Amino acid sequence: MSTSSTILKASLLAFSIASVQAAITFNVSFTADAMNDFTPAEQQLFTDGIAFWDNIIDGHQDNGNRTYTLTVDTFSTPASGGSVTLGSAGPSSVFFSGVVAGANTSDERFILAGGGSARFNTHPDAGSLRASTIRHEIGHALGIGTLWEDNEVYNDGNSGTGNRSLVGGIPGEYLGANALAAYQAEFDASATFIPVELSGGSGTAHGHWDESDDSGRSLTGITNASGQDLRDELMTGFASPNEADSFLSETSRQSLIDIGFTLHSIPEPSSSLLLGLGFTALLSGRRRKK
């Protein structure tokens, strides 16, 4: 697979709200393989995907002015064991933020992503490229699921899988205060933690909101006030059968604060909780994201 430098870069400097100047400039770049494998229309989906997150994220809590570049690449892997991996992603580099008074971390500094890398499956078994898959993987490249331990909101029970980890944390229990408060308001008022996926293999476990309890009981029917099913939330580990059902919860939005971001304010009524995604994919079951 080619690792050649990027050919196309889409800068998202100019958002239409002139009164808001984001502290992070978001860019997208493509490897030579990605440029070859994706049509111009598909490449636009990645520009739209990074714009989706740019429209949510205002900056970092230490007020640093930074540039974040997502590098897109491809792979081809057939389905196996009843599921197919659609993509994988994570930070391409990390760094310590400045001191943020009151931060949840032990030294009041966050560990932030300096850039991101995302790979997408082009095998026919993976089906058509979906906007929700792109948004999901960008979420990981920003740090959702991938920088939880580094920012001391989760402990996967394995030493050496993060630069630091939540002391005393229990695998499967996310304890970031902002996301937990949102989860209590949206899905479970009595929750003392957010359930984290423990199955699905190394690319799925410990990095996604859980879709089932420990007994394997499906949580379909667990909905928020808008009637959206928890299993269709964008940052769970398995893709929704219908693209239009995917949505980003306030729980995921608030988890960005737990790992060092600041967010744009939401107009009322909240449009970010009603994010039906553009097109429908016909799927025979749920497909693994990463």
Q: CA geometry: angle at 104 spanning 193 and 71, to 5°? A: 90
- C-alpha to C-alpha distance for 96 and 124, rounded to whole angstroms: 40
Question: Starting at the edge strand that comes first in sequence, how are the strands of the sheet with 66-75 ordered?
Answer: 9-11, 24-30, 66-75, 111-121, 87-96
At residue 290, the pLDDT reads 62
pLDDT tens digits along 216-248: 545 556 788 998 888 899 999 888 888 999 999
Q: Who's near 208: CB < 8 A, 6+ residues apart?
A: 145, 196, 197, 200, 235, 236, 237, 289
List the chain residues with pLDDT less than 70. Answer: 1-22, 213-221, 267-290
Strand residue runs (E) in the chain: 9-11, 24-30, 57-60, 66-75, 87-96, 111-121, 173-174, 194-195, 261-263
User: For position 231, what pLDDT does the model report?
Assistant: 87
Which pLDDT belongs to residue 284? 31
Task: Determine the pLDDT at residue 23.
Answer: 87
What's the pLDDT at 58? 96
Write the DSSP string, 152-218. Answer: TS---S-TTSSSS--TT--TTEE--HHHHHHHHHHT-TT-SSEEB---S-TTTTTSSB-SB-TT--B
Q: What is the pLDDT of residue 136?
A: 97
pLDDT for res 274? 25
Burial (CB count <10 Å: 0-12, 13-18, 19+), residue 10: middle
Whether a cis peptide bond, with omega within 30° of 0, leads into 124 is no
Chain mean pLDDT for the chain:
84
d(CA 232, CA 220): 9
Residue keyed to tokens 């699905």? 200
Q: Rounded to an integer, what distance in angstroms lies between the CA atom of residue 276 and that of residue 52?
A: 13
CB count within 10 Å of CB 149 equals 22
Name which of 83, 130, 136, 129 is nearest 243 in CA terms: 130
Nearest to 259 by CA among 138, 152, 158, 116: 152
The rounded distance, in Å, linking the Cα atoms of 242 and 289 is 14
Among candidates 85, 52, 84, 97, which has minimal Cα distance to 70? 52
At residue 146, φ and ψ (nearest 5 deg) are -100, -25
